[in-house]
Structure 1
């Protein structure tokens, strides 16, 4: 559903999927929360009215209806989506309005380079920030209840720094997805990587975040946890540094730092080659090639 903000021209997309009540179901409705609650209350009231003969009097129905309305409203407003607005930072009104009770926040398909605006979302449990511009300078506020974090398709390259930061600020993290980043070596992003590189990456992540239950697209297995404990610290996939750019045409190229030739033979102007007549003559008596050749055939 879409909530309109007074300070912004665009709507705030509020997503609600699969919320079930007694005899009713809302899926991706496009209306304001008050309207959704009103419809829910009407449906619930008609449901209770049909059972008034067996379930009790009006006071019981009224109390139960108020409870259902409150729970539905809390569930509705706890799932916030702000998708596809091309924003470069998290708008202040999101934190001011929904930060204290939001449980799930989806900020996908924007141009975010910072998540500093999350400091108001103290109760956040799920955070989705796919398809943004987040880099190695990413910093999250402390989110003690966060158990799900997806950072797919951003610009993260330093896996070690990211994992150390997440271990510090998200102690309850159980689900993490980093697909589409250079920090996650897979063939979709880096054609030169293979399944072994990706498996080593999983061991390294589980070494840094041993409480994870799900990484990227696969559930964490007991075998992976044991391997990460034993050898995960040595499984970091290191990308070699790029070589210096080649010199322009006509410039002298620098010699290689290592040569298998002796020191005296490396300089073409200082060699020890000798041209002279050798005093030893080879007659070929013991040559294997002459074994079956007679002298008259020479």
Structure 2
């Protein structure tokens, strides 16, 4: 086992499969109290037992271990970045419940390489739609999240804006249930006092035609 510690940063390597966690590391309580960044990647970990000692922990890297659905997250009230790439987690709902209750201020989360994260790179049977639904579920549960996997949450959410046209009240309730994090714009049929009963919706698209730019009026052929 190799332990590297510098100020508030701690990196542990070569824990070994015979250990499964890192409770054998001899760290003083004073050191645990000041550590804010822990990297435990590539250690074949199956348990997080012992992490509860790091009360000030803000960043936790657990990539490339053997953590599964039985993972028990310690209560880390200051943790805001958690990376669990390339583990064996398949139950997304269970993991999100644990994150919500144990690490309430998470703003960065990465789950790439787990069965719970349906990416085409890991399994060709998955589609972009599967991954998008996964992102919707995660960001709905973790409302303060700002970065998920490889992209900011805001960037993805802005592309998820939907428009619902000619939708009746009951239809609209169903659509909002299917797309809980989407932003909807309702449009009335001209001259109608209420929404019609037929439903149609799609992604908002912006088509630039050049007319909106006042600068175009001052460009001449010689400037091109």
Considering fraction of residues, name the structure with more strand: 2
Equivalence for 1:115: 48
Give me the whole-angstrom Cα distance separating, in 1, the residues matched to 2:105 and 2:56: 12
Structure 1 Cα separation of the partners of residues 127 and 64 of structure 2: 24
Higher helix share: 1
The 2-side partners of 1:102 and 1:232 are apart by 42
Q: Does the residue aligned with 2:134 lie in a helix, a strand or coil?
A: helix
SS in 2 for 1:100: helix
1:82 paired with 2:7, answer no
Q: Identify unmatched segments of 5+ residues in structure 2.
A: 162-175, 182-224
Deviation at 1:93, TM superposition (A): 3.2
- Normalised by the size of structure 1, how large is the TM-score? 0.51
Hey, what does 2:144 align to over in structure 1?
A: 211
SS at match of 1:99: helix
- Which residue number corresponds to residue 37 of structure 1? none
Is it true that 1:104 corresponds to 2:37 in the alignment? yes
Alpha carbons of 1:94 and 1:105: their partners in 2 closer, same or farther (altered >3 Å)? farther
Q: Give the corresponding residue for 2:217.
A: none
Separation in structure 1 between the aligned mates of residue 146 and residue 80 of structure 2, nearest angstrom: 10
Q: What does residue 154 of structure 1 align with?
A: 87
CA distance in 2, matches of 1:89, 1:233: 40
Q: 1:94 to 1:224 in 2, by over 3 A?
A: farther
Structure 2-normalised TM-score?
0.67
For 1:42-57, list aligned pairs within 5 A: none
Following TM superposition, the consecutive aligned residue runs of length 4 or more in structure 1 with deviations greater than 4 angstroms are 230-235
Q: 1-side partners of 2:46 and 2:180: how far apart?
A: 31
Q: Quick one: distance in 2 between partners of 1:223 and 1:187?
A: 17
Q: Which structure 1 residue ranges, 5 or more long, are not aligned?
A: 1-9, 15-75, 236-298
Report the equivalent of 2:4.
13
Give the secondary-structure state (helix, strand or coil) at the position aligned to 1:181.
Answer: coil
Q: Distance in 2 between matches of 1:142 and 1:221?
A: 27
**RCO greater where, 1 or 2, for CA within 8 Å and sep 6 or more?**
2
1:35-73 C-alpha deviation (Å, 9 max, x unpaired):
xxxxxxxxxxxxxxxxxxxxxxxxxxxxxxxxxxxxxxx
Separation in structure 2 between the aligned mates of residue 232 and residue 161 of structure 1, nearest angstrom: 21
The root-mean-square deviation of aligned C-alpha atoms, in Å, is 2.2
